């Protein structure tokens, strides 16, 4: 009875916090949803007949500061949202994201965690990976829509409905192209048509891009130019492996006075990425040989971790992708006594100020989500390689 009452109390507190957060963001439309504000401005620029990929076309009056980096066809969504006045569009987008987040958490619990999902999962979603959910809500990025599409696709992959998996992966990749990476999952099933699905989906995606290039070449080349430009941005909100290597080399440079060439940084990143891919591939082959009942789900979780670790520009709010794989690892790790400590580790946030030397502090907390992601990846590899066939996760 006490446990039930505590669960209800935690649920109410989390709901109150979420409502408060939404109301706070709603009341400060000039401070939050900066990505949405920028993208909405690009939609208005398109409606005015100018090129939204041209930085000179963006003006303070249109309340936009960032480059538009999505394919031209996606501009029509923001052009549609730009029809009402700004405050109306702002609140429509915020309410839609709030509903989508609640639905996604429920979907995660029902389709992936099942009996492992409990009240603590809600708290985990709120705090894990430097509060990635909070960062997504205040940034106003399209990321949450992409996450919903990807996880819907993953659910179809686990059920063996590969056409629908490919379809939703393609839709998810229509804004940010890199999620097309997840089509690589089609190499893993025991299905005679898997290569047909893989190459067919790849052909559809290439056609999606080629059609835009042929119809609006100026906009498409602007999209490619902007996309390449933001790849080189600083790592403050990009806690990726690539940016971590850059941060470490910068500290070494300050200490030694020796500046490593950019080619050296790129080579280090390629080596680390190759190691991650190699050991993840070995783990997946181990799952295949062991004939693990939940093999497809573990394949999805491992691929999410690989994606996060080797993505050269994995944003802070992108770590929402790892909430389910991480919580599942905590709930199913065989060393159950350390599970509470893992839970506390994963929900630690950079808002916990500690008296650390500033440069080291920035690296540790700025890249804390990435370090946690490596920890989750290590847990999966250990559980897969060290256990017999019947006891793998």
pLDDT digits (tens, 9 = 90+) for 242-268: 999 988 998 888 888 888 888 999 999
Residue 305 lies in a domain: yes
pLDDT of residue 273: 97
pLDDT of residue 322: 97
Mean pLDDT on 340-350: 76
Give the residue with greater pLDDT, 58 vs 101: 101
pLDDT of 133 higher than 70: yes
Q: Which residues contact 365 (CB under 8 A, 6 or more apart)?
A: 130, 350
Residue 61 lies in a domain: no
Residue 153 lies in a domain: yes
Residue 70 lies in a domain: no
pLDDT of residue 288: 87
pLDDT of 76 higher than 70: yes
Residue 76 lies in a domain: no
pLDDT of residue 308: 97
Residue 58 lies in a domain: no
Mean pLDDT on 64-90: 87
What are residue 356's phi and psi, to 5 degrees? Answer: -120, 150
Number of compact structural domains in the chain: 1
- Give residue 358's pLDDT band: very low, low, confident or very high (50, 70, 90): very low
Residue 209 lies in a domain: no
The share of the chain scoring above pLDDT 70, in percent, equals 89
Interhelix angle 295-310/323-332, rounded to 10 degrees, is 130
The answer to whether 169 and 181 are in contact (CB under 8 A) is no
- How far is Cα 74 from Cα 319, in angstroms, rounded to an integer? 23
pLDDT of residue 154: 98
Summarize the chain as % helix, strand, coil (round to 5): 75, 0, 25
pLDDT of residue 357: 43
What does the CA dihedral 22, 26, 31, 34 come to, rounded to 10 degrees?
Answer: 80
pLDDT of 353 higher than 50: no
pLDDT of residue 182: 98
Residue 119 lies in a domain: yes
Q: Which residue has the tokens 């930085």?
A: 55
- Give residue 355's pLDDT band: very low, low, confident or very high (50, 70, 90): very low
- How far is Cα 382 from Cα 391, in angstroms, rounded to an integer? 12
Task: Please give the residue range of the domain that contains residue 186.
Answer: 2-31+84-191+232-391
- How far is Cα 228 from Cα 53, in angstroms, rounded to an integer? 12
The answer to whether 145 and 137 are in contact (CB under 8 A) is no
Q: Which residues contact 94 (CB under 8 A, 6 or more apart)?
A: 22, 25, 26, 33, 140
pLDDT per residue as tens digits for the range 20-56? 888 889 998 888 999 999 899 898 998 888 899 987 7
Q: Which residues contact 27 (CB under 8 A, 6 or more apart)?
A: none
pTM, two decimals, is 0.89
- How far is Cα 64 from Cα 37, in angstroms, rounded to an integer? 6
pLDDT of 103 higher than 80: yes
């Amino acid at each position: 009875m006490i446990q039930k009452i505590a669960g209800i109390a935690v649920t109410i507190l989390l709901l109150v916090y979420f409502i408060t957060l939404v109301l706070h963001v709603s009341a400060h439309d000039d401070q939050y949803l900066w990505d949405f504000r920028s993208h909405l401005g690009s939609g208005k620029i398109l409606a005015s007949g100018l090129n939204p990929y041209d930085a000179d076309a963006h003006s303070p009056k249109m309340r936009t500061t960032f480059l538009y980096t999505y394919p031209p066809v996606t501009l029509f969504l923001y052009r549609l949202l730009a029809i009402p006045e700004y405050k109306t569009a702002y609140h429509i987008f915020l309410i839609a994201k709030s509903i989508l987040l609640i639905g996604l958490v429920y979907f995660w619990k029902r389709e992936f965690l099942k009996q492992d999902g409990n009240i603590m999962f809600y708290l985990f979603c709120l705090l894990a990976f430097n509060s990635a959910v909070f960062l997504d809500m205040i940034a106003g990025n399209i990321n949450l829509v992409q996450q919903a599409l990807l996880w819907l696709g993953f659910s179809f992959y686990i059920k063996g409905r590969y056409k629908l998996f490919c379809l939703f992966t393609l839709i998810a990749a229509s804004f940010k192209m890199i999620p097309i990476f997840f089509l690589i999952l089609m190499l893993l099933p025991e299905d005679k048509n898997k290569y047909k699905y893989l190459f067919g989906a790849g052909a559809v995606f290439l056609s999606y891009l080629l059609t835009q290039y042929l119809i609006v070449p100026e906009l498409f080349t602007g999209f490619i130019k902007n996309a390449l430009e933001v790849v080189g941005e600083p790592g403050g909100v990009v806690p990726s492996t690539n940016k971590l290597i850059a941060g470490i080399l910068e500290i070494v440079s300050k200490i030694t006075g020796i500046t490593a060439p950019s080619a050296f940084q790129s080579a280090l990143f390629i080596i680390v990425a190759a190691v991650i891919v190699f050991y993840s591939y070995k783990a997946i082959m181990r799952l295949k040989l062991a004939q693990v009942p939940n093999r497809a789900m573990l394949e999805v979780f491992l691929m999410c971790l690989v994606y996060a670790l080797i993505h050269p520009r994995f944003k802070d709010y992108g770590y929402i992708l790892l909430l389910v794989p991480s919580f599942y690892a905590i709930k199913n790790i065989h060393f159950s006594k350390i599970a509470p400590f893992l839970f506390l580790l994963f929900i630690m946030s950079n808002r916990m100020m500690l008296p650390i030397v500033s440069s080291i502090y920035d690296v540790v907390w700025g890249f804390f989500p990435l370090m946690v992601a490596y920890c989750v990846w290590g847990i999966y590899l250990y559980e897969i390689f060290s256990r017999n066939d019947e006891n793998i996760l």
